[in-house]
Structure 1
Amino acid sequence: MEVKKIEWRKTEPGFSTRKKPQILTIPEQNYFSIRGIGDPNLPDFSKRIQVLYPLAYSIRMSQKAGWVIPNFQLYTVYPLEGYWGLQEKFLSAPVMQKSHFEYKIGIKQPDFVTPEIAESAKQRVLAKVDPALLDAVFFERRPAQLVAQILHVGSFDDEPATFKILDDFIKQNGYQRIEKEHTEIYMSDFRRVEEAKRKTILRVAIKKI
């Protein structure tokens, strides 16, 4: 029997790579997530990414491993996401440094992934990843959220100019941000794509004024 495929780029909200800003509601979603602090250019950030992908691919490739997951559907692994803010002790710092960051990175999982499936995935990758980091990974169901987002193309260091466009759009449409933190969705693999061509969706939570 043919297995139905999840075409998330075409059917799910929030993954548009159009350059114009937009307002939309993101539904409840499943994630493998892990928290961290500090400069994302340092090795610790990469190590946290490296524990997430084996988990995501263990579910995606479950059929080839003989792991039967109820209601399984074929899909492409979702992109890495980062939720970025500042450590509390640096909130009043006169100049923001990358070492001040506090973040949560994650990879979205299809709706058929349950907490039990997530735990089974963790057991299946035990021999492949750092056990301490694996223990820090958690499976979560994130609530629905009203957001504004825009596509940024280029270096992460150039994001402020794109955020300015997004902030102006939010105000002009009668909304306001409800938190200083923001989400980045890495539609390009920043480990392989040159800076000038990187595509990153910038997203912020909003409410109607």
Structure 2
Amino acid sequence: MEKVDFKKLEKAFYLPGREPEQIKLPQMPYIAVDGTGAPDGESYQQAMELLYGLSFTIKMSRMGSWQPAGYYDYVVPPLEGMWYADSMALEREQWRWTSMIRQPEFVDQAVFTWAAAHLAAKKPQLPVARARFLYHSDGLCVQMMHRGSYASEGKSFAAMTAFMQERGLVQRESWHREIYLGDPRRTREENLRTVLRLPVRQV
């Protein structure tokens, strides 16, 4: 059976066009790590190790003696980040964020607890307690695909703001979401693809 790839299965969520559009997102299960600091800082890098460590522990459970009920093989979804507006004007070391990786629907609190215990035993130096499991919905949003460097995202956000003003929409939360479809270590800056998403409400 072919692996489930959410990017292909749910293209509306992961592959929007390069012009702003309106979308409503359902509730999804996530593993998340909250933190403060620059993306190249120790806290963020540790969050990445936790998120991928837990996500691949669950994915590879099919190779062990225990497997979650309803398990199916899948591609681990892309890294996502919620960045909080009240911190973005501060120094990079003070940025607040929640980094997340979506999980398949068979993952629940019990599966997460098992994965956390398994990873903690394998890598006791990792502060696994930083990670948490949650269900989250972005709800009504405006989103678009940003191409290029993270530093140039301002142009895309300006286009999204204009789109919102034309339709009587305002941002309803203090965060914006980024979904990273390219690895900056392996992808030329101008070819990076990032889904940008703003939660909105009608005025």
Equivalent residue number for residue 68 of structure 2? 69
Identify if the C-alpha distance between structure 1 residues 145 and 131 changes in structure 2 by more than 3 Å, giving closer, same or farther: farther
State the secondary structure of the residue aligned to 1:75. Answer: coil
Residue 100 of structure 2 corresponds to residue 106 of structure 1 = yes
Q: Aligned-pair distance for 1:26? A: 0.7
Matches within 5 A, 1:179-198: 179-198=173-192
Matches within 5 A, 1:14-53: 14-53=13-52
Of 160, 170, 194 in structure 2, the residue corresponding to residue 200 of structure 1 is 194
Matches within 5 A, 1:150-165: 150-165=144-159
Q: Which has the larger displacement, 162-171 or 57-66?
A: 57-66
Identify if the C-alpha distance between structure 1 residues 34 and 73 changes in structure 2 by more than 3 Å, giving closer, same or farther: same
RMSD: 2.0
Q: How many residues align?
A: 202
Matches within 5 A, 1:78-157: 78-86=77-85, 96-129=90-123, 131=125, 133-143=127-137, 145-157=139-151
Greater share of helix: 2
Distance in 1 (CA, whole Å) between partners of 2:22 and 2:184 is 25
Counterpart code for 1:7: D
State the secondary structure of the residue aligned to 2:159. Answer: helix
C-alpha distance after superposition, 1:100-142 (max 9, x if no partner): 3110001000111111011111111124445552111000011
Residue 170 of structure 2 corresponds to residue 176 of structure 1 = yes
Aligned identity (percent) is 26
Q: Which has the larger displacement, 142-151 or 71-80?
A: 142-151
- Determine if contact 1:86/1:100 at 8 Å carries over to the other structure: no
Q: What TM-score, normalized to structure 1? A: 0.88
- Determine if contact 2:16/2:143 at 8 Å carries over to the other structure: no
Q: What TM-score, normalized to structure 2? A: 0.90
